[in-house]
Amino acid sequence: MQFHERQQDLFELEDHYVLAHCISADARMGKGIAVQFRERFDLQVLQEQAQQEPLEIGKCYPVGRTLNLVTKAKFSNKPTYSSLTKAVESMRDVCKEKEITHLAMPRIGCGLDRLKWEKVRLIIQNTFADMDIEIVVCTV
């Protein structure tokens, strides 16, 4: 695994990067960077799915060139390191299955969700350690 942190707009990366972010099981995506993901990548399909039945916490849902990590039940909740770890492990499995080799994300779980980046970074690095993948974390 190659792991890079850059001061760069996530949405200005080349199209071969698959973009990951965190959402809630109700798929509201009404605050933070999730709003941009919803608007840029037409993620209404996740919202419609969540209206039928809540998405599963700890699971990664691929839609187009996005990976949507469900880390909490409701948009107003906060994730735990355990729920984030399960979602990152699910994301790894999706990357293997879909042969994704270029992954980019913001500091997942650390903005509005308030997890500590030092811990989240280690979760990501440990989970993807044995994979042939480039991960870029964008901060602005």
Residues marked as catalytic: 72, 113
Measured CA to CA, the distance from residue 72 to residue 76 in angstroms comes to 9
**Strands in the chain per DSSP E:** 2-7, 18-24, 60-63, 66-72, 102-105, 134-139
